[in-house]
A and B are shown apart, each in its own frame.
Chain A
Amino acid sequence: MFKNSNSVQNRRKLLQFIMFGFFKMSAAINGIALLIIFYFLVSRGWRAITWTFLTQPPIDSMTRGGILPCIVGTVCLSLGAIIVAIPIGVASAIYLNEYAFQGRILRIIRLGISNLAGVPSIVFGLFGLAFFVVYLKMGVSILAGALTLGVLTLPVIIGTTEEALRAVPKTYREASLGLGATKWQTIYRVVLPAALPGILTGGILGLSRAAGETAPIMFTAAVFFTPSLPSSVFDEIMALPYHIYVLATAGTNIEATRHLQYGTALVLIVLVLGLNLMAIIYRARLQKQH
């Protein structure tokens, strides 16, 4: 039955070796891609990063000076988006997963949410323009932009929160209810704390997405140029991704501002990675507690 076992063994070993190598390489490509992008940005943009660049508004038709308004704008917009999206997203996920009757209507709602995640971001931009800016008369403002980005990140947050809630063992809920806790007490005291790391992951993903989007803020929050920092949520604002887009496509001197474009991109990447890192550290600390 096991004739030729030697040659068969060798063939199996070879196949194992090839497949393992293939998987290892695929995994490595991910890391390498990130490294290449980072190298690309750093090598071309590092000269632009100066104290002035980070702390001054742009001058001379944005060919010199800094990008402070853009940094402030992006931080405002993405944090605003998260502040809007997390409570609504988590609350809907709790409803869908804990309270709602598990039936056909719920499946349709879920389908809707996952389709919402697939809608192109420019469509969100147009929706924001029509609904927040024009219909609700918010004008082009941080508020309108943050709300638009919030709607954009909602599906991500609902999806990951539901995943996190589902991962909480059923026995926790039963134990809590068995002790005479109400449903809300069970969710608030047991389920949510246990799901928090997972929910935070959703927040991180949402935050990164919000910080990097250009299309949804183009019509709702961002402007070509404003030298002043915002004083209220109704002010319009500059943002990093939109600034890059502007410098690279519509600036007064595109070639001369190349290093500024790469510098801005570098700042954006570092900002997003920094936000992620903070959240990851916080999440790790939470998980360690349990």
Chain B
Amino acid sequence: MEKSLKIAIKELNFFYRDFKALTDVSLDVYAHEVTAFIGPSGCGKSTLLRCLNRMNDLISYIRIKGSIFLDDQNIYDPGMDVVSLRRRIGMVFQKPNPFPKSVFENVAYGLRVNGIKDKAYIAQQVETSLKAAALWDEVKDRIHESALGLSGGQQQRLCIARAMAVQPDVLLMDEPCSALDPIATQKIEELIHKLKKTYTIIIVTHNMQQAARVSDITAFFYLGKLIETDETDAIFTRPKLKQTEDYITGRFG
């Protein structure tokens, strides 16, 4: 299959007040691939992830230079509608964060805020999303009960279903398994494998084995710079740069 470019990050610089969190990051992300961002804490990988759906806009004292193209459209264009951008780029967070609503309402939320009123469509979309997130069989009998009653792993899959319900192109995952046990982690990882047929997935992870297992491309960040990016098996068997090797083999700092 021909690789098609989904996101192109070009010369991105990011500042928190005077602190430069990202320096000249340029990276291409291809459709239907899983791209993993790895690196030590504070290396800028989460910051970059949050640039992709402009979640950083919530913080008032940041500055951004450079551009990010989503399907040839610069998302930092002044004319860009951030709200509709965020619908196209779904996000799954570090800790499972379902709303204190029912399972159904959680998944339906994105549809409702985007102005969809058709009840039959919403119900069908909720079911499709829950099935795609491999959660339907576990929750179909308690779909109108509070989502907070689910286990951590189920909650995280619910959050994935919730993100998928609005049919985004891209899924951003910010350490999606860091609060989960190994079994739940395995389920999420299997899900990621399944979902990449439909979505372009970018995952930030501290777990190097996880990056190795789920991703096609791995990008290693250090001190706000993109150090090395390559196919994941190359990064984990023969990285080109010593810094990358030192990090993934645990000889760091």
Contact present for A180 and B166 (CB under 8 Å):
yes
Q: A171-B93, A174-B91 are in contact. Are A179 and B99 (CB under 8 A)?
A: no
Contact present for A180 and B97 (CB under 8 Å):
no
Chain B contact residues (Cβ within 8 angstroms of A): what range?
A: 20 to 34
Contact present for A174 and B90 (CB under 8 Å):
no
**Most chain B Cβ neighbours within 10 Å, of A173, A194, A290:** A290
Chain B contacts for A179, CB-based, 8 A = 86-87, 90, 109-110, 113-114, 162-163, 166
Q: A177-B58, A179-B163, A290-B146 are in contact. Are A171 and B113 (CB under 8 A)?
A: no
Contact present for B93 and A175 (CB under 8 Å):
yes
Tell me whether B209 is interfacial, beta carbon within 8 Å: no
Q: Which residue of A lies closest to B106 (CB)?
A: A175
Q: Kindly state the separation between the CA atoms of A290 and B100 in the bound complex, as whole angstroms.
A: 5
Q: Kindly state the separation between the CA atoms of A101 and B60 in the bound complex, as whole angstroms.
A: 8
Contact present for B93 and A174 (CB under 8 Å):
yes
Q: Which residue of B lies closest to A185 (CB)?
A: B113
Chain A nearest CB from B116 CB (Å) reads 11
Contact present for A182 and B90 (CB under 8 Å):
no
B85-138 residues at the A interface, CB under 8 angstroms = 86-87, 90-91, 93, 95, 97, 99-101, 109-110, 112-114
Contact present for A102 and B97 (CB under 8 Å):
no
Tell me whether B249 is interfacial, beta carbon within 8 Å: no
Contact present for A189 and B97 (CB under 8 Å):
no
Contact present for B55 and A177 (CB under 8 Å):
yes
Chain B contacts for A185, CB-based, 8 A = 113
Q: Kindly state the separation between the CA atoms of A193 and B90 in the bound complex, as whole angstroms.
A: 23
Chain A nearest CB from B95 CB (Å) reads 6
Tell me whether A97 is interfacial, beta carbon within 8 Å: no
Chain A contact residues (Cβ within 8 angstroms of B): what range?
A: 20 to 34
Tell me whether A181 is interfacial, beta carbon within 8 Å: yes
Contact present for B60 and A176 (CB under 8 Å):
no
A194-233 interface bits toward B, Cβ cutoff 8 Å, 1 = contact, 0 = none:
1000000000000000000000000000000000000000
Chain A contacts for B100, CB-based, 8 A = 193-194, 290
Tell me whether A169 is interfacial, beta carbon within 8 Å: yes
Tell me whether B237 is interfacial, beta carbon within 8 Å: no
A47-64 interface bits toward B, Cβ cutoff 8 Å, 1 = contact, 0 = none:
000000000000000000
Q: A102-B60, A193-B100 are in contact. Are A178 and B86 (CB under 8 A)?
A: yes
Chain B nearest CB from A241 CB (Å) reads 39
Chain A contacts for B58, CB-based, 8 A = 173-174, 177
Tell me whether A190 is interfacial, beta carbon within 8 Å: yes
A120-179 residues at the B interface, CB under 8 angstroms = 169, 171-179
Q: A102-B60, A175-B162, A290-B146 are in contact. Are A180 and B87 (CB under 8 A)?
A: yes
B130-173 residues at the A interface, CB under 8 angstroms = 146, 148, 159, 162-163, 166
Q: Kindly state the separation between the CA atoms of A171 and B100 in the bound complex, as whole angstroms.
A: 12
Contact present for B113 and A178 (CB under 8 Å):
no
Chain A contacts for B162, CB-based, 8 A = 175, 179
Chain B contacts for A289, CB-based, 8 A = 146
Chain A contacts for B109, CB-based, 8 A = 176, 179, 181, 189
Chain A contacts for B84, CB-based, 8 A = 180
- List the 4 closest A-B pairs by CB distance, nearest first: A180-B87, A179-B110, A171-B97, A290-B100
Interface CB pairs A-B, < 8 A, 27: A171-B95, A171-B97, A172-B97, A175-B91, A175-B93, A175-B159, A176-B109, A177-B55, A178-B55, A178-B91, A178-B163, A179-B90, A179-B162, A179-B163, A179-B166, A180-B83, A180-B84, A180-B113, A180-B114, A180-B166, A181-B109, A181-B110, A181-B113, A185-B113, A189-B109, A194-B99, A290-B146
